[in-house]
A and B are shown apart, each in its own frame.
Chain A
Amino acid sequence: MTLTRLRDGGGVQAPPPVRPRRRGIGWAQRLEIVALSGPAILVFVSFVIFPVLMAAYYGFYKWKGYGVPTNFVGLDNYKTILQDTAFHEALWHNAEILVLSLVLQGPVAIGLALLLNRRMRGQSAIRVLIFVPYVISEVITGTAWALILQTNGAGNDILESIGLGGLTQDWLADPKLAIWSLMFILTWKYVGFAVILFLAGMQNIPDELSEAAAVDGASFWQIQRHITLPLLGPTIRIWAFLSIIGSLQLFDLVYIIWGQYVASTAGTSTMATYMVVEGRNAANYGYGNAVAVVLFVISMIIALIYQRFVLRRDTEGALTGGS
C-alpha cells in the first residue's frame, strides 16, 4: 500500500501527463477499463476484502456459525482474547518465530548465496536443488519431518549410528526443544527461497565494483563486506518483510506436526493455530472471527511500521516491481 504510493507517486491526485495526442478518457476507454479490470476486482473484493470486513462484524457476536448472528456481546470476545494466557503464549511464540527466522535464515541464506555466487561447476543444479523444499507442500514437509524427528524416527537412528547416541532427543514433544525443531524445519523449507532472492540481488550488482576493489587490493571478504552486502540491502529488507509476514501467519506446518503427530503443542502454538482451534474446531465462529481481526490488526501494524521505517529508504519499485 504505502509501497505503491512510493512508486506510483500519487497516481490518484497527479494531473495527467500532458501528451500531444491526448484527448482525455472517452467512454469507450472507460468501458474497456471496466470490462478488463472488473472481473478481477469483483472476485478480489468478494473473497478477500469482504470477508475481512465481515470478520470485524462477526467478531462482536457469540455465534456458532449458523444463521444470522444475534447474540451481540460487544467487545467480550476481544476481552477474552486479550486475557487468555493461551493467546499470550501463541503471540509470544509468533514473536520468537519472527525473530529467530530473521536471525537464523538471514545469515545462513546470505552465506550460501555468497558461496553460490561464484562461478563453479554444477552451480545451476545446486540452485535448483536448494529450492526443492520450497516447492513441496507444507503437509508433506510436516509429515516427513514428523516421522524423521519422532523419538524412534530416522533422525535419532542416524545420530546413534554415527556414534552420537547420547544426543538423541524427543525433538518434537519436549517443550524446550520443539520450537528449535520448528525453526530448523522452517529454515529447511524456506531458506532456498531466500538464497534465490539474494542471488538475484547479487547478480544486479555490477562486476566492475568488485573488480575495481580487487585491483585496489581488497580481499574477497572485504569485497563482500563493503560492496556486496551494502548493495544487497534492498533485497535483504524485502526478504525480511516477506519473512515477517510469513512468521506472523504461520499455520500449516505447526498445525500438522503438533496437531497430528505430537499430542501437545509443546510451546509451538501460533496465533493462527489458536484461531483455528478456538474458532473452527470449537465451533465458536464469533470468537474465531475476533481472533482473525486481532491477527489482521497485528500484521497490519507491523507491516506498516516496517514499511514506514525500513522500506521507505529503498528506491522505488522494490516490492511493487517498478518499471
Chain B
Amino acid sequence: MARRTSIVYLVALLLIGLMLGPVLYIIVGGFRTNSQITVSPAGLPDPWVIGNYTEILASENFWRQVGNSTIAAVVTTVAVVALGVMASYVLARYKFRGRGAMYALFAAGLMFPATVAITPLYILVKNLGLVNTLPGVILPQIAFGLPTTIIILVPFLRAIPKEIEEAAMIDRCSRLGFFWRMVLPLSVPGLITTGILAFIGSWNSYLLPLFILNDQDTFTLPLGVQAFASQYSVDTAKVLAFTSLSMIPALVFFSLFERRIVGGLTGAVKG
C-alpha cells in the first residue's frame, strides 16, 4: 500500500509540474533578459532583472487595456447575473404556457458559442454603430453568457422550498416581493458562481473583441497581449512580462473563488 501511495504522489507531482510549468515559464521568463533567453531558453534568471515588468507597469497602453478589460468584464458580469436571475426566477417558479419552449431557447444557446455567430454578429454591431466601442463587445457577451447562467440558476432557484414561498404569501408578500426579499438573498452563492464564470469568460474573451475592436485605444488585454507580442516579436522577455502581468487578475480572481468556480461548473453539468 505504501508503494502505491508513493506512486500516486509521484504522478500527482509530475502532473502539477506539467500544469504549472508553462505558467512559471512566463512569469520567471519576464525576469530575464533577451540574451539570457537566447543563450538558454529554459534557464532561470541570472541575474534577476525587473526592468521588463517595471517598464510595462509604467506604460499607458497596459493600464488602458486593464481598464477596458475591467469595464467590459464588470458590466458584462453585472448584466448577465441580473438578467439571468430574473429570467431564471420565471423559469423556476412560474407555471405558464411556453415555459418549456423558453427554457429550450436558452439551453440551445449553450450548444453554440459565439464562434458560429461571429460574422453576422459583427455586421449587427457595425449597423448599430458600436464597432470600436466597449458596448459593442459587452452586449453580445451578455447574450452569450445568459445560457450558462440560466442553466445553473434555474435548478438553484427551484430548490428553494415551496414552504418558504407559501409562508411569504401568507405574510402578504407578493411574488415580486418574494423574489426581491427571499429569492435573491437565498441565491447569493449561485449568483456568485455565475458571476465569476461570466467575469472570467469576459476577461479572457478573444474572438469577439478581435472582430469588434480595431482601435488600439479600445483594446482589451487579450488583444493587447497579441498586439504587443507582434510589435515586440524580437523582445521575448518583454512579451513574457506583459503576458504574465495580464494573467494575474484572472489568477487572483480564480484563487479567491476557486471553490465556487469548480462547484459551479460541476453543478451546471451534473445538476
Q: Which residues of A contact B (CB under 8 A)?
A: 1, 3-5, 8, 10-12, 16-17, 25, 29-30, 32-33, 36-37, 39-41, 43-44, 46-52, 54-55, 58, 65, 112, 115-116, 118, 120, 122, 126-133, 135-141, 143-145, 147-148, 152-158, 161, 188, 192-193, 196-197, 199-201, 204, 235, 238-239, 242, 245-246, 249, 251-252, 256, 260, 272, 275-276, 279-280, 285, 288-289, 291-292, 295-296, 299-300, 303, 317-323
Contacts and interface: CB of A to CB of B under 8 A. Distances in A.
Contacts of B38: 152
7 contacts: A29-B175, A44-B109, A51-B121, A140-B26, A144-B26, A145-B22, A197-B269
Nearest 6 CB-CB pairings of A with B: A11-B100, A137-B204, A200-B266, A47-B143, A40-B87, A154-B42
A52 B8 contact: no
A112 B12 CA distance: 8
Contacts of A252: 206-207
Contact of A55 (B26, B120, B140, B267): B120
Nearest to A108: B15
B16 A130 contact: yes
Contact of A321 (B121, B126, B152): B152
Contacts of B9: 120
Nearest to A319: B269
Contact of B246 (A8, A132, A140): A140
Interface in B196-222: 200, 203-204, 206-207, 211, 221-222
Contacts of A288: 119
B182 interface: no
B230 A260 contact: yes
Contacts of B109: 44, 48
A105 B36 CA distance: 35
B119 A137 contact: no
Contact of A126 (B16, B158, B250): B16
Given A139-B222, A192-B19, A58 B123 contact: yes
Interface string B1-45: 000010011011001101110110110010000000010111100
Contacts of A126: 12, 15-16
B251 A135 contact: yes
B225 A140 contact: yes
Contacts of B223: 139
B117 A120 contact: no
Given A37-B87, A129-B19, A52 B146 contact: no
Given A140-B26, A145-B22, A115 B16 contact: no
B153 to A, nearest CB: 9
Contact of A29 (B11, B94, B236, B247): B94
A260 B222 CA distance: 14
Interface string B103-132: 111111111110111111111101000000
Interface in B146-186: 146-147, 150-152, 154-155, 158-159, 175-176, 179
A114 B137 CA distance: 41
B22 A135 contact: no
B84 interface: yes
Residue from A8, A118, A138 having most chain B Cβ neighbours under 10 A? A8
Interface of B: 5, 8-9, 11-12, 15-16, 18-20, 22-23, 25-26, 29, 38, 40-43, 83-84, 86-87, 89-91, 94-113, 115-124, 126, 139-140, 142-144, 146-147, 150-152, 154-155, 158-159, 175-176, 179, 200, 203-204, 206-207, 211, 221-223, 225-226, 229-230, 236, 239-240, 243, 246-247, 250-251, 254-255, 258, 261-262, 265-271
Contacts of A127: 262
Contacts of B97: 12
Contacts of B11: 112, 115
A4 B239 contact: no
A48 B144 contact: yes
Contact of B96 (A25, A65, A135): A25
A291 B83 CA distance: 32
Contact of B254 (A48, A132, A144, A296): A132
A276 B119 CA distance: 8
A140 B119 contact: no
Contact of A201 (B86, B90, B243, B270): B270
Which of A54, A152, A238, A279 has the largest count of B CB atoms less than 10 A from its CB? A54
Contacts of B152: 321
A41 B119 contact: no
Contacts of A144: 22-23, 25-26, 243
Contacts of B100: 4-5, 8, 10-12
A212 to B, nearest CB: 21
Nearest to A25: B96
B42 A17 contact: no
Contacts of A188: 18-19, 22
Given A44-B106, A54-B124, A136 B240 contact: no
